[in-house]
Amino acid sequence: MDFQATTPMDPRVLDAMLPYQVNFYGNPHSRTHAYGWESESAMENAREQQVANLIGADPREIIFTSGATESNNMALKLLEASICPETSLVSVMTVNNEIGVKQPIKEIGKICRSKGVFFHTDAAQAVGKIPISVSDYNIDLMSISAHKIYGPKGVGALYVRRRPRVRLEPLQSGGGQERGLRSGTVPTPLAVGLGAACRIAQQEMEYDHRRVSMLANRLVQKIISEIPDVIMNGDPEQRYPGCINLSFAYVEGESLLMALKDVALSSGSACTSASLEPSYVLRAIGADEDLAHSSIRFGIGRFTTEKEVDYTAEKCIQQVRRLREMSPLWEMVQEGIDLKSIKWTQH
């Protein structure tokens, strides 16, 4: 139930990768023998027929990387170096990884293009889950991560527009692979895995979206029908349904997570899960600090079952009730006391 942090590898992706882990092990950049040709062919097939097709890109605009973090760094390094008083950049997440809200990427892209501004989007949480066209959306740079779409960890891609051309500075020097933008041997099995994940996502996107929507609605309705004072964070309509962020008033989020430790959940992004600070995303959308501290993120994906959803909902209901019974704040609210009218003092 933490599918925004990562996803399990689809067995079909593993099947596609295994031959290139064992039998077809050649360096894809070796041009003098069949082993290299086999690996190069597989790598280019993943680039052309799978990754590029999923986002409506020219294959020459796809650069393999280690994941969305590296792709983001490559994109932003170039753009920062390009800034002068007359230029600027826009970088926006397509789907927020904490609350699932979809940004108006098409409209943002149109505005950026009209102003001559580069537009980068981190689409790690969106690619393969919602339709995206880099051409229709006027996207200049886009970051992709395989492990968010049931592919292997350690591989991703950066889309780099060719017309109008976006010029990047490489983060590292070396052999000049990936058109000189990302030196180092491309790991063929991982590239094949990313390609397979993209191919499957394109084929099953509509079905996955319907099923995830059904399961998400089932989870939310079960919880809010049994527990009062539960708030869904983020826009109720413009959202990816598989990312659900709920605040349980008068319950400490970390305490609820510990009570639900047999379920994979989080209180926010896995990138900042070591911090005890309230989510900056929730604070940015106006959530009170106490509600930000009481939030839990539920992630639903391709392999989530109805049984898992029902178990999670029932366990959550049970533990929220238990924790509220222990809370003096909840007791005060039940007695009709307005907590905001109390002047708290520190000792």
84, 243, 271, 316: the catalytic one is 271
Instruction: Answer yes or no: do 145 and 235 share one domain.
Output: no
pLDDT at 159: 97
Mark out the alpha helices in the chain (DSSP H runs). 11-22, 34-45, 52-55, 68-82, 105-115, 188-224, 253-259, 280-284, 289-293, 306-325, 328-334
Please say whether the beta carbons of 53 and 62 come within 8 A. no
- Structural domain containing residue 37: 17-64
Instruction: Answer yes or no: do 221 and 312 share one domain.
Output: yes
Rg, C-alpha atoms of the chain = 23
Distance from the first to the final alpha carbon of the chain:
40
Q: Distance (Å, rounded) from C-alpha 181 to C-alpha 163? A: 17
pLDDT at 34: 87
Please say whether the beta carbons of 170 and 183 come within 8 A. yes
Indicate whether 346 belongs to any domain: no
- Of 127, 206, 193, which is closest to residue 154 (Cα–Cα)? 193
Parts of the chain with a pLDDT under 70: 78-88, 268-276, 344-347
Instruction: Report the domain count for the chain.
Output: 3
CATH at 242: 3.90.1150.10
pTM of the model: 0.88
Indicate whether 50 belongs to any domain: yes
pLDDT at 105: 95
Q: What's the DSSP call for residue 170? A: -
Instruction: Answer yes or no: do 307 and 209 share one domain.
Output: yes
Instruction: Answer yes or no: do 82 and 53 share one domain.
Output: no
Indicate whether 178 belongs to any domain: no
Instruction: Answer yes or no: do 125 and 144 share one domain.
Output: yes
CATH at 196: 3.40.640.10
Please say whether the beta carbons of 185 and 193 come within 8 A. no
Active site residue 243: no
Instruction: Answer yes or no: do 22 and 141 share one domain.
Output: no
One-letter amino acid at 48 equals E
Indicate whether 6 belongs to any domain: no
Instruction: Answer yes or no: do 249 and 133 share one domain.
Output: no
Q: Distance (Å, rounded) from C-alpha 172 to C-alpha 155? A: 17
Instruction: Answer yes or no: do 232 and 128 share one domain.
Output: no
pLDDT at 83: 46
Instruction: Answer yes or no: do 97 and 165 share one domain.
Output: yes
